[in-house]
Amino acid sequence: MKVVIDEEKCVAAGQCVAAAMDVFDQREDDGIVVLLDENPSDELADDVRNAAAVCPALAIRIEE
């Protein structure tokens, strides 16, 4: 699994961090998403898919 984020779309809502905190973080100053792990392990895959699904800005893309 490869994860791609679009910082331009991100509205700093933070749902991705709640869904997969090992993969996503937010910048201190403006809350924009930070990708911690571009190639998450299989055991994190469901959490990452969930993060992409709940992101209100559709800023998370998953390439399988």
Rounded Cα–Cα distance for residues 35 and 22 (Å): 9
Q: Is 10 in the site for ligand SF4 (CB under 6 A)?
A: yes
Q: Is 59 in the site for ligand SF4 (CB under 6 A)?
A: yes
- Range 18-37, binding ligand SF4 (CB under 6 A): 24, 26, 33
Looking at beta carbons only, is 34 or 45 nearer to ligand SF4? 34
SS3 content of the chain, % helix, strand, coil (to 5): 30, 20, 50
Q: Do residues 55 and 15 lie in contact, with contact meaning Cβ atoms separated by under 8 Å?
A: yes
Binding site for ligand SF4 (CB under 6 A): 5, 10-16, 24, 26, 33, 55-57, 59-60
